[in-house]
C-alpha cells in the first residue's frame, strides 16, 4: 500500500509538470503522449504502466496460454507454459507450435532468457515465486484463477486490457456467449425434474470443492454436479461410499493422463469394474463416459465448449452427440 501511494504521488507530480510544460513548450516530451500509453492493476493491487503494447509476453498457465493466443499475434508471445503441448489439457496444441519457448514449473530464473516485457502468473503459484519474479525486475501481472464462467470472462477482459486488445477481448466473450446461449436454448425444453445428476470421477476417486469450474459448467449445461450436494466445509476427497450414495445418472471421466499413469480407455473400465460401484445407476446403465479433459478442466474461453460437450453427452437426443 505504501509503495502504491508513493507511485500515485509521483504520477500526480509528473502529470502536473506535464501540464505546465505543455503550456510553455508544446514540443516537450511530456506534451507528446502516445495513444498506446496505458496502465493496468493486477489482482494483488500492483499497477503496471505501459508506453506501448507488450511484445515479449510470457505466460505461466494453460488458461492464459489459451486466452493470449486468441488475443494477440503469435509474434508477441515469447513463451507459453509446458502444458500447452499436452492435448489432454490443451485446446491449442497445434497453434502453440508457432511459439517455440516454454516455461517450466515454479522457477522464474530461466525466464530472463526470453527477455520478456510482460510476465503473466496465476495466483496459485507460491508467494515466494511471485516475489522472486518482481525482485528480478520483471514486469509481472498476477491474476486470480477463475472458478466459473463469469470469472473466465473477467480474466479475458483483464488480459485484453493488459495486452492493449480490449476490442478483441469482447469478441472472444461474444463467441462464448453465443455458444452458451445456443446450448441453453436447446435444454430449455427439459423439465427441472428430468435433468441429469452427474459426477466427474477417476479410478482413484472424486474430489469435492465448493467453488469449482466443473460445477458451473454443469449448471449452464442443464445438469447438476452431484458432489455439490455434500456441502462439506472445505475442499476434500470424496470416499467411495459417498460416491455410491450420490448415485449419479452419469459419470464423466476426463481423458487427461496427467501423470503418465492413467491410460485413457482403462480409466473407464476400472470404474465400470469397481465392485463398490456395481449398484450405481450410471454403472448399471453403462453411462460412464470419457470426456475431453482439455475442455472440462479449462478456465479459458474453451469453457463454453465444455458446456456444449457436457450438455451434448447428457442429452444426445437434443444435440446428436456421440458419447465416448
- Give the pLDDT of residue 29: 38
Question: 194: phi > 0 → left, psi -120 to 50 → alpha, else beta; which?
Answer: alpha
The DSSP call for residue 188 is: T
Pairing outcome for strands 206-208 and 224-225:
unpaired
Q: What SS3 state is found at 279? A: coil
Place of cell 506535464: 18
For residue 45, count CB atoms less than 10 angstroms from its CB and return exposed for 0-12, middle for 13-18, buried for 19 or more: exposed
Which cell is 291 given? 470426456
> Nearest to residue 53, comparing CAs of 77, 26, 29, 32?
77
Q: Which of 258, 51, 265 is closest to 164 using CA atoms?
A: 51
pLDDT tens readout for residues 130-171: 888 888 889 999 999 999 999 999 999 999 999 999 999 999
Q: Is the backbone of residue 278 left (phi > 0), alpha (psi -120 to 50) or beta?
A: alpha
Task: Report the residue count for the chain.
Answer: 324
C-alpha to C-alpha distances, 298 to 131, 203, 253, 256, nearest whole angstrom: 26, 21, 15, 12
Look at residue 324 in the predicted model and tell me its pLDDT.
Answer: 55
Low-confidence ranges of the chain (pLDDT < 50): 1-34
DSSP codes of every residue in 44-63: TS-EEEESS--SSEEE-SHH
pLDDT digits (tens, 9 = 90+) for 233-280: 999 999 999 999 999 999 999 998 766 666 777 889 999 999 999 999
What single DSSP character describes residue 207? Answer: E
H or E element at residue 118: strand 118-122
- Sign of the CA dihedral running 239, 242, 247, 252: negative
pLDDT of 22 reads 38
Q: Which residue has the cell 493470449?
A: 68
- Residue with grid cell 503494447, as numbered in its chain: 53
> According to the model, what pLDDT value does residue 257 have?
75
Collapsing DSSP states into helix, strand and coil, what is residue 150?
A: helix
Phi, psi of 35 (to 5 degrees): -70, -20
DSSP bridge partners of 200: 252
For the chain, what is the total number of helices (H) and then of strands (E)? 13, 13
For residues 257 and 274, is the Cβ–Cβ distance under 8 A? no
The C-alpha cell at 163 is 495486452
Query: Residues 58, 118: contact at Cβ < 8 Å?
Result: yes
Q: Assess contact for 231 and 187: CB atoms under 8 A.
A: no
Amino acid at each position: 500500500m505504501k509503495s502504491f501511494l508513493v507511485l500515485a504521488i509521483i504520477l500526480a507530480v509528473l502529470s502536473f509538470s506535464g501540464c505546465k510544460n505543455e503550456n510553455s513548450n508544446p514540443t516537450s516530451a511530456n506534451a507528446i503522449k502516445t495513444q498506446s500509453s496505458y496502465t493496468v492493476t493486477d489482482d494483488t493491487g500492483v499497477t503496471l504502466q505501459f508506453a506501448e503494447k507488450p511484445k515479449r509476453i510470457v505466460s505461466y498457465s494453460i488458461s492464459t496460454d489459451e486466452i493470449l493466443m486468441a488475443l494477440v499475434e503469435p509474434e508477441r508471445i515469447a513463451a507459453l507454459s509446458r502444458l500447452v503441448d499436452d492435448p489432454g489439457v490443451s485446446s491449442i496444441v497445434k497453434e502453440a507450435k508457432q511459439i517455440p519457448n516454454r516455461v517450466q514449473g515454479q522457477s522464474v530464473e530461466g525466464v530472463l532468457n526470453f527477455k520478456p516485457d510482460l510476465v503473466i502468473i496465476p495466483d496459485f503459484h507460491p508467494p515466494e515465486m511471485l516475489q522472486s519474479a518482481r525482485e528480478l525486475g520483471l514486469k509481472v501481472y498476477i491474476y486470480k484463477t477463475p472458478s466459473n464462467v463469469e470469472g473466465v470472462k473477467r480474466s479475458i477482459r483483464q488480459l485484453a486490457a493488459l495486452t492493449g486488445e480490449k476490442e478483441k477481448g469482447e469478441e472472444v466473450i461474444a463467441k462464448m456467449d453465443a455458444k452458451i446461449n445456443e446450448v441453453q436454448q436447446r435444454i430449455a425444453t427439459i423439465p427441472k425434474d428430468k435433468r441429469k445428476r452427474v459426477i466427474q470421477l477417476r479410478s482413484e476417486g472424486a474430489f469435492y470443492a465448493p467453488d469449482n469450474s466443473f460445477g458451473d459448467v454443469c449448471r449452464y449445461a442443464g445438469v447438476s454436479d452431484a458432489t455439490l450436494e455434500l456441502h462439506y466445509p472445505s475442499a476434500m476427497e470424496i470416499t467411495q461410499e459417498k460416491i455410491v450414495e450420490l448415485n449419479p445418472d452419469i459419470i464423466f471421466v476426463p481423458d487427461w493422463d496427467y501423470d503418465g499413469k492413467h491410460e485413457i480407455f482403462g480409466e473407464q473400465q476400472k470404474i465400470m469394474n469397481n465392485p463398490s460401484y456395481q449398484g450405481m445407476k450410471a454403472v448399471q446403465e453403462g453411462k460412464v463416459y470419457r470426456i475431453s479433459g482439455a475442455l472440462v478442466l479449462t478456465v479459458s474461453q474453451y469453457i463454453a465448449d465444455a458446456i456444449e460437450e457436457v450438455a451434448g453427452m447428457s442429452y444426445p437426443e437434443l444435440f446428436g452427440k456421440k458419447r465416448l
